[in-house]
Amino acid sequence: MTTTMQLPRKEVRAIIKELRAKYIKMERDRAFLSTFDRLLECDEDGNLIAQPVAWTATGETRGIVVTDGAGGGKTSLVRHALNKHPALQPSDIAAMPCVSITVPSPATAKSVGREILKATTLPVKSVNRTAQDIWDDVAFRFKLLGTVVLWIDEAHDVFPQRSKSEAPAILKTLKTLMQGDSAVIVVLSGVDRLWQNVCFDDQVSRRYFPFALPQVSGAADCKRLWAILGGYCDRASLELPPRGDLIERLVHAGRHRFGRCVEQMIDAIEIALMRGDAQLDIQHFADAFFAQECCAISENVFLVPRWSSINLHSRAA
């Protein structure tokens, strides 16, 4: 293995931080925006504006349920789309067109409402307030701030397993926010089971469009992933590893989830830089995989010949 002068730890950290901060657009970004843009009104010139489309005579809006496996990159995708959307930039008319939260634990009607109020810079101080009072304040704040989109990430945590859930009350409250003159678009994102959870009530589910992020395919996405790895190596001043079947192994190790594949690339590059190696190679990926999975050599996707036969579904996702 060719080595070079080892970079100072601080410089390695800076490179890795820069790589992790990069956002990589894929076809799924365009697909998500295509779905989301259907929910926004446009002006006379056809430009999208910060106003939800009314889907019924009573002014009801629609929402989106975004799903993918853990580490798929759904949070980054939704955050990037909403933050960069030209119609959702703060203005004199709409100070906070988009409000986003991560589901608190435990997820109750009160705690979710409190978290939303906190995101609008209005924390709830009194612990004795009712859930209805809190959500009335949420609706008032949305109207005051010109909010048109509410994004709730990790929304699957509203449906805790093996415990009592206030999910029906929360979702029906969200339904109320999607009605009337100040209605908002609700975006829910979470793991795969989220859509099935939301579908417990037709009155709720019909208000949302399902958007399942596509899995990464070894056949269809290898060229793109190899290009991404090449760009990362250029920034880190590392030589690319031999092509071989590295990307196919990477896709399998990442459980066909885009975010996981990118994370493993960066982890491998960090290991190479910390060791002072001049070229990235498959051993760096193997070591990064071991650090993440704590697996035996016989179960390391980057070390064994029959890597495709390793069943990763039985391991924690």
Is 314 among the domain residues? no
Cβ proximity of 276 and 6 under 8 Å: yes
Domain-ending residue, one of 180, 212, 244:
212
For residues 81 and 224, state if they share a domain.
no
Is 59 among the domain residues? yes
CA distances for 42 relative to 7, 48, 297, 302, angstroms: 52, 4, 56, 50
The rounded distance, in Å, linking the Cα atoms of 214 and 254 is: 14
For residues 150 and 271, state if they share a domain.
no
The rounded distance, in Å, linking the Cα atoms of 245 and 247 is: 6
Residues of the chain with pLDDT under 70: 1-5, 125-127, 162-163, 314-317
Query: Please, what's the largest Cα pairwise distance for the chain?
Result: 69
Is 1 among the domain residues? no
Q: CB-based contacts of 66: which residues, under 8 Å, 6+ apart?
A: 32, 74, 77, 78, 187, 188, 189, 190, 211, 212, 213
For residues 169 and 295, state if they share a domain.
no
For residues 222 and 302, state if they share a domain.
yes
Report the pLDDT value the prediction gives residue 205, as an integer from 0 to 100. Answer: 78
Domain-ending residue, one of 181, 212, 243:
212
Structure tokens at 303: 């070390």
Question: Domain tally for the chain?
Answer: 2
Report the pLDDT value the prediction gives residue 317, as an integer from 0 to 100. Answer: 53
Q: CB-based contacts of 67: which residues, under 8 Å, 6+ apart?
A: 74, 189, 190, 191, 192, 194, 195, 210, 211, 212, 213
Q: Give the type of residue at 251.
A: V
Is 188 among the domain residues? yes
For residues 111 and 246, state if they share a domain.
no
Helix axes 282-293 and 258-275, enclosed angle (nearest 10): 110
Report the candidate in 137, 131, 139 with the shortest Cα–Cα distance to residue 112: 131
For residue 81, what are the domain limits?
A: 38-212
Q: Which residue has the tokens 């399998």?
A: 252
Cβ proximity of 290 and 268 under 8 Å: no
For residues 16 and 53, state if they share a domain.
no
For residues 14 and 75, state if they share a domain.
no
For residues 79 and 196, state if they share a domain.
yes
Structure tokens at 85: 């959307």
Cα angle 203, 214, 18; round to 5? 115
For residues 55 and 169, state if they share a domain.
yes
Domain-ending residue, one of 163, 179, 212:
212
Is 257 among the domain residues? yes
Is 177 among the domain residues? yes
Cβ proximity of 31 and 258 under 8 Å: no
Rg (CA), the chain: 23
> What residues pair up with 188 in beta bridges, in sequence order?
65, 152
Is 29 among the domain residues? no
For residues 18 and 58, state if they share a domain.
no
Question: pLDDT (tens digit, 9 = 90+) per residue, 148-196?
Answer: 999 999 999 998 776 678 888 999 899 999 998 889 999 999 999 999 8
For residues 59 and 191, state if they share a domain.
yes
Cβ proximity of 264 and 292 under 8 Å: yes
Report the candidate in 21, 34, 39, 26 with the shortest Cα–Cα distance to residue 77: 26
Is 4 among the domain residues? no
Q: Which CATH number characterizes residue 144's domain?
A: 3.40.50.300
Report the pLDDT value the prediction gives residue 37, as an integer from 0 to 100. Answer: 97
For residues 184 and 112, state if they share a domain.
yes
DSSP state of 44: T
